[in-house]
Amino acid sequence: MSAVLLGAFVTGLALIAAPRLARARWVLRSPSLAIFAWQMTCAAALVSATLIGLTTTLHWDTTHSLMCRAWQLCLDALQGAHGRAAQLAAVLGAALLAGLTARLAFGAWQVAGAERRRRRSLQAVLRLAGSRVPALDATVVPADHPAAFLVPGGHTDVVVTSAAVRQLAPDELQAVMAHERAHATGRHYWLLRTVRLAHSAFPWIPMFSTALHQVHRLVELRADDVAVRSSTPLALARALVTLAEGGARPATGNPILLAADGGDTAERLDRLLRPPAPLPATGVRVAVVAAALLPLVPVAMAVAGRYASIG
């Protein structure tokens, strides 16, 4: 029964919660909260899938409530001790667990390997073509199009093209640098990496591809919010237009870069020029607690289901 309820819960997350979160307008008022909500939604889905596998594979000894007396006892359903139907369910649960573990391990290996290779080749190019400019605290590379981006990794580096230095006014360049540094200090690369891992492991699940797209969009909004604390929305907006008109987007096709003109430029411009009111602090705190509890919901469902079956 637990597995059925957990299946309904994860289906609700994928078909109802995730699409609603993707369409929600409040995310524009608190991108940080929305990023956290996406991460907790993905975590809750993965926890649910794991628990579906566990609850169908393992058989808990009724005389020892939630604890197994021994692994032998836990796994007796797999050996057919509770009939053919229970054995089939246990085999399916074990297959789900094995598949889930293998896909996550494969996804982590794929993401880490691809990012390491791209970062190394980028850093090699930057060492050859770029020159460090201490006044900007950035590496400047010669190029005809204006662009700025962050190369994350062990040593994060802001890279700006010579065209951007030429074409952007001093306050615009400062706003762009503040945006890129906000990506670095906010560890946006790591936030993206967690959803990229889920997407890489399960690319056929729409919820994870939506989560990756949305978190990418939201980290740009969050970096804008931080940047305008030390510059002005108008300077950042003007810089965004210059970068977008430059026509070259180094982040395109390269998942490890966080470009200054990443995300939805029209949406960012509109938000900079007509900033929405932030969400009330109390509401944000309540929502953070609710989101943090989301991955615990399937755990509570599995425990409650186990108690019900014992009772």
Contact residues toward Zn ion (CB under 5 A) are 220, 223, 258, 262
Helix (H) or strand (E) holding 265: helix 265-273
Helix (H) or strand (E) holding 239: helix 233-245
Which of 110, 232 has the CB closer to Zn ion? 232
The answer to whether the beta carbons of residues 57 and 97 sit under 8 Å apart is yes
Which of 111, 258 has the CB closer to Zn ion? 258
Which of 215, 223 has the CB closer to Zn ion? 223
Which of 45, 177 has the CB closer to Zn ion? 177
Least Å distance, CB 158 to Zn ion, is 11
Least Å distance, CB 101 to Zn ion, is 34
The tokens of 72 are what?
A: 């032998």
| DSSP tag of 15 | I
Which of 193, 306 has the CB closer to Zn ion? 193
Least Å distance, CB 143 to Zn ion, is 18
Least Å distance, CB 145 to Zn ion, is 17
> 110 CB contacts (<8 Å, ≥6 apart)?
200
| Cβ-proximal residue to Zn ion, closest one | 262
> CA–CA separation, 31 vs 37, rounded Å?
10
Q: How many CB atoms lie within 10 A of CB 95?
A: 13
Least Å distance, CB 226 to Zn ion, is 11
The tokens of 271 are what?
A: 């938000």
Helix (H) or strand (E) holding 259: strand 258-259
| DSSP tag of 264 | -
